[in-house]
Structure 1
């Protein structure tokens, strides 16, 4: 097995493990939300925006993982500079922007929850959300940087 195949196989395993983690989160998330709603019945209606944002994040992240898996398959088959690779990178970038929008919606929900329940402070979760936006923005910038030379190579062909 050559080095390129070994590294793409390693990355595929990492993508698969990340997919399992997302699936586990989707399975246990409703149970956690119901427990929290029972403990805090006065703010139970905030579970719905939280679940919408979280499941939207999971769907966008899963689509991005699938496209990354497909991209690694194209690389293994020496089709790295193809239209299919370009489309995969484009979808991954759209998923990154979707995640950013969903995180912004989560920040707004957190801030509203902090205003409604005067005793709660949303500074910690808000800062974590902003760090998530920063990480996703960096990822989107990397994908955009990879997409530009690929587009130039496709235009030359």
Structure 2
């Protein structure tokens, strides 16, 4: 793979992570200085806490994807380190999915207060998106492990 495509993907990872970290850092100070509406505080604060917790596995996933791109640049894409990175991506995506599934009751309460039924469907998007990423990472991990096994068998026969 050309270095330009992995450089583009590394830049994309940075552009995906930087705004999330900036919002997480700025958002906590904004919430302390400007508390939410007291009517919604019991709903919004637990949801915000869950969102802040989900930043950790999100950044971990981006770091593991960056590690994969570095391995691909170094022609070490077919290694056990790549399999471990894909496994960590899978577990981080599952963690995000569980966190946002835990947040769904708060989203449902907010939708009832504001009479916005579409909010529940929008709240389900991160759950299903991260599940898709987890399944994709699991499939890639399995395929990569099989390719590594085949490669090691071929190395022994030659």
The TM tier, using the shorter chain, reads: 0.7 to 0.9
Question: Against the structure 1 CA distance between its residues 26 and 51, is the aligned structure 2 distance closer, same or farther, given a 3 Å change threshold?
Answer: same
Partner residue in 2 for 1:43: 40
Partner residue in 2 for 1:137: 131
Query: 4, 7, 29: which is aligned to 1:6?
Result: 4
Partner residue in 2 for 1:22: 20
Task: Structure 2 unaligned segments of length 5 or more: list them.
Answer: 153-158
Distance 2:119 2:29 in 1: 20
**Maintained 8 Å contact 2:43/2:109:** no
Distance 1:99 1:14 in 2: 20
Partner of 1:81: helix, strand, or coil?
A: coil
- The CA deviation string for residues 103-136 of structure 1, in whole angstroms up to 9 with x for no partner, is 1111112224556xxx423522211121222222
Question: Against the structure 1 CA distance between its residues 22 and 7, is the aligned structure 2 distance closer, same or farther, given a 3 Å change threshold?
Answer: same
Q: Does the alignment pair 1:57 with 2:51?
A: no
Query: 60, 67, 72: which is aligned to 1:70?
Result: 67
Distance 1:93 1:61 in 2: 11
Partner residue in 2 for 1:83: 80
Normalised TM-score (structure 1): 0.85
Partner residue in 2 for 1:147: 141
Partner of 2:76: helix, strand, or coil?
A: coil
Partner residue in 2 for 1:123: 117
